[in-house]
Structure 1
Amino acid sequence: VIWTRMLILIFGSTTFAISTVLTAFMAGLALGSFTFGRLIDRRGKPFMTYGLLELGIGAYALLAPTLFDSLVPLYREVWLRFEPSFFAFSLLRFALLSAILIVPTFLMGGTLPVLSRYCVRRADLVGCDAGTLYATNTFGAVLGTFFTGFVLLSTLGLRTTTLLAAATNLTLGLAVVLLSRATRETSAASAQPAPASPSVPQPSTINHQPSTIFVVLFCFAASGFAAMAYEVAWTRTLSLLLGSSTYAFTTMLTTFLIGLSVGSFVFARLATSARFQGVGMLAYLQLAIGILAFLTTFLFAKLPYTYTVLFKRWGAHANETALMALNFAIAGVIMLPATLFLGGMFPVVVRICATNVVRVGKFVGDAYSINTVGAILGSFCAGWLLIPTLGILKTLFLCVAINLILALVVGLVARDLTLGMKGVLCVMTPVLLYLVPHAGPDWNALLMTSGMYKYASEIEDYSRDAFYKYTEGDYDLLYYKEGITATVTLAKEKARDNIWLATNGKIDASSHADMPTQVLSGEIPLLLMDNPQDALVVGLASGVTVGSVLQHPVKSLTAVEIEPAIAVACTYFGHVNFRPWEDPRFKLVANDARNYLLVTPQQFDIIISEPSNPWMTGASSLFTQEFFKLGRSRLKPNGLFTQWLQLYGMAPPNVQALLRTFLSVFPHVLIFETIEQTDLILIGSERELTIDAARIADRMKAPKVQASLARVQVADVFQLLTYFKIGTKELVTYAGQGLLNTDDNELIELQAPKNLHANTRAANDRLLAAATAGILPYLRNYGQTDAERAAFLAKLAEANLAKAKGPEAARLAKASLAIRENPEARKVLATPVEPADPANDE
């Protein structure tokens, strides 16, 4: 878990990059299991060997952070040389990852066969003992995943958690080595054979045909393929229901591992009975896996409403424990039925194959390694090929079909199944294979991507009919794609001309409520800077920001978007985004933005970062100090870095921490509030930032800029400047001292999800409003004479008054009167202000 989080910061969080990390990791496990399974049978002293393996893993864990950091310059060089060739670059990236992960994963892979060699004492108990070891090992992974995700990372951070894990390995390894030296080590080599029974044949003495063993191992590999494909597809489904926070992913992985652990433990105990030891048992397991996985797909359409009902009933709105329990319950309903039987595969397979207790290391190592190879293929194919081409539901149907076919194939070679039972399998399997695609449920895209993990608190009081009207009845689906990295939904409201774009159920862009942020994120930095030439935008979304930038005379604009499906969805916003894909200055890069900035040598005048929310895994790495430093390193001298930031769903201390983090990299910052109590635009630079009113007004005369700003009803410089919120001096005081958001502590990624359903917008806005001194300290060149300056400030005061920004209007009116008496400023001061109604759209 920790190493994956570290490595994706270097190699990127694209699906292909993550798949490469997982492939390299699991390949090491498979190779280690295969190799040590054979070595330990010949070498002996498995307990001592296990201790040495743990010592090696712990020693490497201590070096891992330093080794990972050393990869950065090498990775950058590889990218610069081979990036135009996708195949060559991908191959070299895999080589780099393999080189860095092969040692620890090779050692990790050896632990199970080595321990099995030590613990298994009787041939008739090999399935029980090896299965119990596997269950115990998997349960350790459950504890590690749970406590790392929910406790350790938030209290210790990445590097300290790594040190703790290393210390655990070293302590365990040292204890085992010392214990082994202090005692006379015995193992299965000196174990006694099982007591014979004249009435019950011992399965250990059954010599299966090589062809049967081949079928069993092939089944186990294919089962590993299906298991990982299930895990990927279930995770994609549950991310629509539980969200994309680190806690949601921890919940999913923990639940999946619980199923494997419990299933392995149960069937390890059952493996002592002759009825559960034959090849036929594998057929029953595969049949159960396929049927249960298929049946759970009928629950998908019911879960969004169920989630909302339980969300209210359990009080999850303000109770972290209740929300965690709800997420585990939803994940358990989907994952546990089939994973219990997936977990049962290992002890049954080992019991069938391990006919000689002296060679148990080889049998366990072979079984584990071949299953891992299948898992590698399943993970890669599901994420990279099956889901993008078939979709989540059909990928699950394909996995169900694999299990059903495996049940038939294994059943036909099983000597312990009667001819009648084989006949039943021959009839049942084709029938089920037909029913899966024809009688299976439909996938309701609007319902499944309704984002209840985010919006449940807003509609928890809705009736059933109102719920379904809200989630699907009020919209027409325009575009839907289960992409490589995310599920993208595009819909149009029936009641008004508004198109919205959602990623994994969270609305990230629209042609109505989000327009001020989308337009002004591109317009304000371009108007503030003198003659910008090259710009970079992080996140394409609706394309409105990109289109805004291209209304200015820049030479080039690069947009980095991690999900290719977004590029298609963007075309539906052509009526509001000026169709940027038709502009020759525009270049779209399909990559993780952080990874792109890490490797590209290009420098930019302006970088505009508009990722999704900072509580989301992946996007959260685009809000850390390290990312801001990376962005600064890619700016030309006096360049501007623009960062979108939300005020909703984050407690004031979280917002302050992000502002502190931004200030730690960019000492000069101006903030504009584009949507009241909702969105901020942070503009940072290493140079002092001021607002040149005359230059802005002059640039706003350009017809293209006028047309761009007209989309958000900004007609002049006065209306534009009403969006100003706070400047550097006051911001430093407001942000205060405290923790920064870093790659190591992941402060916002771990804290922000806890406030996802809290109403924090008003509090955040109120604190910022109380801290600001207004725009005046940063306003320059707004008149040549006193009369012009007084008139300008009076008009700006009137514009603020029109937007119900009373305190700022009063500040400007008083400043105008201090320069020169005028009736316009007097009128502003005499006018009562009605509070603005903040936008409800997020």
Structure 2
Amino acid sequence: MMVMDTNVMAPRSLSTRWALPLLYAVSGLCSLVYQLVWMRRLGLVFGSSFTAVSVVTAVFFAGLALGGWGGGRLARRVARPLRTYGLLEAGVTAAALLVPSMLDMAEYLYAAWYPSVSASLRQTALVRMGLAACLLLLPTTLMGATVPLIVRCYSTRDGRNGGDTGVIYALNSLGAALGVLAAGWIFFRWMGVNGANSLAISLNALVALAALLLARREAESRPSTDGDGASVFEGEAEAVRPGLVLACFGLSGFLYVGYELLWMRTFLLFFRDSIYLYVSCLAAVIAGVAVGSFAAGRLADRVRSRRMFLGWLFGASALLHTAFLLGVVRLHRPLSLLAFPYPALETVFIFCALVPVFAVAGGTFPVVARLLARRASDTGGGAGRAYAVNTLGSIAGAILTPFCLLPALGLDGTMWLFLVCGLGSAAALWRGGATRPVLLRYAATCVLLSSLLFIGAQRQGGVFLGILNQVKGASRLLEARQGALGGNWVLESPERGGQIVLYENLVAFSRGGSPSFVVQGFIPLILADEVPRNVLGLCFGGGLTYHAARYFPEIRSLDLVDISAGNVDMALRHLAINESLKRDSRVRFFIDDAYSYVKYAQKSYDLILIDSNPPFYSHNCATLYSREFYRQCARRLTHRGLFTQVLPIKQMTLAEAQSVMRTFASVFPHTLLWWNELDPLMIGSNEPIVLEPDGMEARLNRPGLGDALRRYSGEAKFDTLGHFLSGLLLADDGFRRAAGTGPMNSVDKNCLEYSRELNADQTVAPWLTERLEPWEAMKSLFTRPDMIEEYAPQLERRRAYLMGLIRREMMLARIRL
């Protein structure tokens, strides 16, 4: 077998040796920007359901694993690894340039196949996996191959290749952490997703160019026929079982991703689902890897037994994760309260919690690379094998943890299983590397620490229930469960007369009997010129919006979509108002992402209602206020169909509310804004909206409908025609004037993703009051304009009263905060 001489790859100049880690740091930044960009773009193709995201993640990791394995073999054979590294970076750049156009093709193919495969989850997953593989395998394989090549270029000093590997990997991870922060907090916000992608491609091209220029001074390797594999490290006498080391490192990759998901799940019980939370968690995890890789790489060249050291890293990582997860429970109440007025505290806390625990896990890579390398020139090959196996473990963690372990074992059960796996890996490495007394002493220490952690967990109720006990206060916990999307629970609040509140993670997504949720379903059914026959409800949530359907037998089909089966099940079982939906033969439920369903469904609807969370509570919902989403909904409407969406003014600043209205009006040529407490209802149509007072009055007089509206509309008293019409606030030109000019929200750049504070300062209510459209300007909407002209003064007074109710509610909301 032909191998390379040990020292021939040492850089000729000090500047080259300094340049390589810096280049790889920029490469890490580009890689994470690519990952975030491609995940977002593919989310728009396949939807943002957890299944779709997991499929894309698995394909991404598979490419990295394939590249790591192939790159490791390549690193042993190439004569000029630095030039090869530069060519690989150039290949990544070229592949990244092709991804946007290939995404358009993938979207076309997915749309063509969707009707035939959407009924089968397995077939849908296979189609997604195949298309994602066509898009991502090439660039991700090239990315993965850079790891062993750059390690081969930099790790050239005999007996110090552990430290060299740690340095190069640490700087790459540090660049990746900066890439996450820069993309999430700066690039996407100010440049948009496409701008961030272009910047990453440009930086990647510069990295490739710089590497190729440095390679001009690279010396060729001299082939050696020394194929006995004898170690060249002085004093190297430790017996290494590569199979065992790789198996443990593969399990480490499984635990790495598994713990990342556990921490994310835990923090969703502390803080709202914001882009700041997601970015902070990912950046803190990668920063921890950087710190651990740098420190452990230095120690790997000095410790007496690297195998024992690696075992201690595995065991300490599992114990620290468990201790920190249990420890943060006690901080839940002060942190969840302080993070609201001081958002930066959230990021600081996440970094303080995650960097130490992931630093221990991150230190394993340079140690494993040092163990597997029998000569300096083989460090790249060992790093490639280790990286590939570890990434395969990460794929297993990304799929099994959310879909199998968390639903079956819950957060606490999964945490204890991970602890056993981590300590088991440590024991496997210690066995044979330590004497029996030492091994027993290590085992006794681990058992003692685990027992103490278990006793502490029992006293506080574990992680999940420990947090819930603080959240629920005086309320009674009716049910709690954990699934792929997070924790769901149901509370009964005695302070509000036994009101049932449904939670997903920290967000109360439905409150039983909440008036505005119910009324927003009545409004379009009453004002439509004809009762809709086919109705689509997006983001089912608690289902209150669809209570109105029971009073309209003319509706032939009621298709209800929600991304979470757990949410739907809890809403149907615990909210009495949904009893009619359970017995209604017209109702069909679809568990899917709202954006994806509207994009690929083949059916047209007379009415589309959406009851999405405000982006303040979930940054992923910002897509449902984008121009592209509105266009998809407009395409699904019949000739005179209506689309309705709440404008949540309590959870938006004035600028955000205006941006939503501008975006809405840019797609729908005919628009209305109707009063609905703190959730005014935007109504859009492709055709002029005609309001027929006689038809509305007839519907208000239907048996039971008036009583229901009187009960749920409260002081607005929408059960009479005059009161109902007084809810009309803006129409067409008035709607556009109120929206003003400025940027609109798109999937490329959406200001709502960064919604950070509740708008409890009453800014929107006075602004809206000043811009109310005169009744004289709106009478052309009605089939009986003379009646509107006659009753305009009464309608004006009634509308002013309704706006006063909004101002009062905004003031109460501010007091409660």
Other-structure match for 1:28: 63
Distance of aligned partners of 1:746 and 1:800 in 2 relative to their CA distance in 1, 3 Å threshold? closer
Aligned partner of 1:821 in structure 2 is: none
Kindly indicate whether residue 353 of structure 2 is the aligned counterpart of residue 292 of structure 1: no
Q: What are the within-5 Å matches in structure 2 for residues 94-173 of structure 1? A: 94-173=129-208
Letter in 2 for 1:425: Y
Q: Which residue of 2 aligns with 1:219?
A: 248
- CA-to-aligned-CA distance 1:502-550 (integer Å, 9 cap, x gap): 22212222124x322x112211111122131111111112111122234
User: What CA distance in whole angstroms lies between the structure 1 residues aligned with 2:622 and 2:580?
Assistant: 29
* Separation in structure 2 between the aligned mates of residue 435 and residue 123 of structure 1, nearest angstrom: 43
| Aligned-pair CA distance for 1:789 | 6.0
1:202 maps to which residue?
Answer: 234
| Residue of structure 1 equivalent to 2:262 | 233
Q: What's the offset of the Cα at 1:806?
A: 10
Is the counterpart of residue 727 in structure 1 residue 747 in structure 2?
no
Q: Which runs of 5+ in 2 are unaligned?
A: 1-35
One of 170, 175, 178 as aligned partner of 2:213: 178
Which residue of structure 2 aligns with residue 499 of structure 1? 500
Q: Provide the rounded CA distance (Å) in 2 between the counterparts of 1:143 and 1:93.
A: 30
User: Does residue 250 of the first structure (1) align with residue 279 of the second (2)?
Assistant: yes
Q: Take 1:563 and 1:176, find their aligned partners in 2: how far apart are those partners? A: 47
Task: Note closer, same or farther for the CA distance 1:839–1:672 as it changes in structure 2 (3 Å cut).
Answer: farther
Structure 2 CA distance for partners of 1:710 and 1:124, relative to 1, 3 Å = same
Q: Which residue in 2 is equivalent to 1:668?
A: 670
Choose which of 426, 436, 439 in structure 2 pairs with 1:419.
436
The whole-number CA distance in structure 2 between the counterparts of 1:6 and 1:783 is 45
Q: Report the CA distance shift for 1:410/1:528 in structure 2 as closer, same or farther (over 3 A).
A: same
1:376 partnered with 2:395:
yes
Q: Helix, strand or coil: the match of 2:615?
A: coil
SS at match of 2:156: coil
For 1:803 and 1:422, how far apart are their aligned partners in 2?
A: 75
Residue 556 of structure 1 aligns with which residue? 557
TM alignment of 1:325-336, pairs within 5 A: 326-336=345-355
SS in 1 for 2:705: helix
- Taking structure 2 as the reference length, the TM-score comes to 0.88
Partner of 2:19: none
Classify the secondary structure of the residue corresponding to 1:44.
coil
Residue 661 (structure 2) aligns with: 659
Provide the residue aligned with 1:405 in structure 2. 424
State the distance in 2 between where 1:806 and 1:84 align: 46
Written as runs of structure 1 = structure 2, the 5 A alignment for 1:549-588 is 549-552=549-552, 553-588=554-589
Higher mean C-alpha displacement, 64-73 vs 259-268? 64-73
Change (3 A) 1:170 1:708: same
Partner residue, 1:768: 768
Counterpart for residue 525 of structure 2: 526
- Offset at 1:233? 0.9
- The whole-number CA distance in structure 2 between the counterparts of 1:187 and 1:533 is 75
Take 2:563 and 2:808, find their aligned partners in 1: how far apart are those partners?
40
Residue equivalent to 2:93: 58
Letter in 2 for 1:305: R
Matched residue, 2:311: 283
Q: Using the TM superposition, give the Cα deviation of residue 304 of structure 1 relative to its aligned residue in structure 2, in angstroms.
A: 2.2
Q: Which moved more, 1:679-688 or 1:567-576?
A: 567-576
- Would you say 1:545 and 2:579 are equivalent positions? no
User: Once superposed, what is the RMSD of the aligned Cα atoms?
Assistant: 2.8
Retained in 1: the 8 A contact 2:92–2:142?
yes
Alpha-carbon distance between aligned partners in 2 of 1:797 and 1:650, rounded to the nearest angstrom:
26
Q: Which runs of 5 or more residues in structure 1 are unaligned?
A: 451-467, 808-833
CA distance in 1, matches of 2:811, 2:779: 26
**Aligned residues of 1:693 and 1:781 also touching (Cα < 8 A):** no
**Cα deviation per residue 1:92-129 (whole Å; 9 max; x = unaligned)?**
21111111100000000001101111112134112111
CA contact (8 A) 2:658 2:738 kept: yes
1:716 corresponds in structure 2 to: 720
Whole-Å separation in 2 of the counterparts to 1:602 and 1:576: 28
Q: Distance in 1 between matches of 2:480 and 2:570?
A: 8
Mapped partners of 1:798, 1:769: distance in 2: 12
In 1, distance between residues paired with 2:391 and 2:567? 33
Q: Describe the superposition over 1:122-159 as per-residue Cα deviations: whole angstroms up to 9, x where unpaired.
A: 34112111122111111111111111111111111111
Structure 2 Cα separation of the partners of residues 126 and 488 of structure 1: 48
Q: Which residue of 2 aligns with 1:341?
A: 360
**In the alignment, which residue of structure 1 is the partner of 2:12?**
none
Verify the 8 A CA contact 2:652 2:758 in the aligned structure 1: no
1:697 matched to 2:731? The reply is: no
The residue identity in structure 2 corresponding to 1:481 is R
Candidates 52, 74, 82, aligned match of 1:17: 52
Q: Given that residues 86 and 212 in structure 2 are in contact (C-alpha distance below 8 angstroms), is that contact kept between their aligned partners in structure 1?
A: yes
Q: Deviations over 1:185-215 (max 9, x none)?
A: 356979x9xxx99xx983545453xxx2211
Bigger mean CA offset, 540-549 vs 264-273: 540-549
Measure the CA separation in 1 of the matches of 2:785 and 2:196: 62
Q: How big is the shift at 1:747?
A: 2.1
Does structure 2 retain, via aligned residues, the 8 Å contact 1:293–1:337?
no
1:362 corresponds to = 381
How many angstroms does 1:56 deviate by?
1.0
Q: Which residue of 2 aligns with 1:819?
A: none
- Change in Cα spacing, 1:60 to 1:785, as seen in structure 2 (3 Å) is closer
Is the alpha carbon distance of 1:84 and 1:435 closer, same or farther for their aligned partners in structure 2, counting shifts above 3 Å? farther
Q: State whether residues 657 and 735 of structure 1, in contact with CA within 8 Å, keep that contact through their aligned partners in structure 2.
A: yes
Inter-partner Cα distance in structure 1 for 2:161 and 2:803 = 77
Which residue is 2:15 aligned to? none
Residues in 2 aligned to 1:630 and 1:476: alpha-carbon distance in whole angstroms: 42
Aligned residue type for 1:406: S
In the TM superposition, what whole-angstrom CA distance separates every residue of 1:769-816 from its partner, at most 9, and x where no partner exists?
111124554357989797x66775566467547657599xxxxxxxxx
Q: Distance in 2 between matches of 1:53 and 1:547?
A: 58
Q: Cα gap change, 1:782/1:64 in structure 2, threshold over 3 Å: closer, same or farther?
A: closer
| In structure 2, C-alpha distance between the alignment counterparts of 1:386 and 1:100, rounded to whole Å | 29
Q: Given the alignment of the two structures, is residue 387 of structure 1 paired with residue 406 of structure 2, yes or no?
A: yes
TM-score, normalised relative to structure 1: 0.86
Check whether the contact 2:251–2:393 (CA below 8 A) recurs between aligned residues. yes
- Asked if the contact 2:696/2:721 (under 8 Å) is kept, the reply is yes
Between the aligned partners of 2:380 and 2:233, the Cα distance in structure 1 is: 24
Aligned-pair CA distance for 1:483: 2.5
Q: SS of the counterpart of 2:650?
A: coil
* CA distance 1:270–1:837, shift in 2 (3 Å): closer
Task: Say whether residues 1:267 and 2:302 are aligned partners.
Answer: no
Q: Percent identity?
A: 27
1:411-490 alignment, distance < 5 Å: 411-414=430-433, 417-430=434-447, 437=454, 439-440=456-457, 441-443=460-462, 448=467, 471-490=471-490
Task: Note the 1:681-696 alignment, pairs <5 A.
Answer: 681-696=681-696
Question: CA–CA distance in 2 between the matches of 1:617 and 1:777?
Answer: 37
Matched with 2:597 is 596
Q: Residues of 1 paired with 2:464 and 2:373: CA distance?
A: 47
Aligned-partner Cα distance in 2 for 1:446–1:293: 18
SS of the aligned residue for 1:618 comes to helix
**Counterparts of 2:120 and 2:94, CA distance in 1:** 36
* Cα pair distance change 1:684/1:449, threshold 3 Å: farther
Deviations 1:734-785 (A, max 9, x none): 21221110111122213x22xx14534x211111111112455435798979
What secondary structure is seen at the aligned counterpart in 2 of 1:594? helix
Counterpart Cα distance in 1 of 2:140 and 2:782: 64
**1:249-288 alpha-carbon deviations (Å, 9 max, x no partner):** 001100111111100101111122133x521111211121
State the distance in 1 between where 2:574 and 2:696 align. Answer: 27
Label 1:782 to 1:698 Cα distance change in 2 as closer, same or farther (>3 A).
Answer: farther
Whether the 8 Å CA contact 2:162–2:369 is kept in 1: the answer is yes
* One-letter amino acid matched to 1:427: A
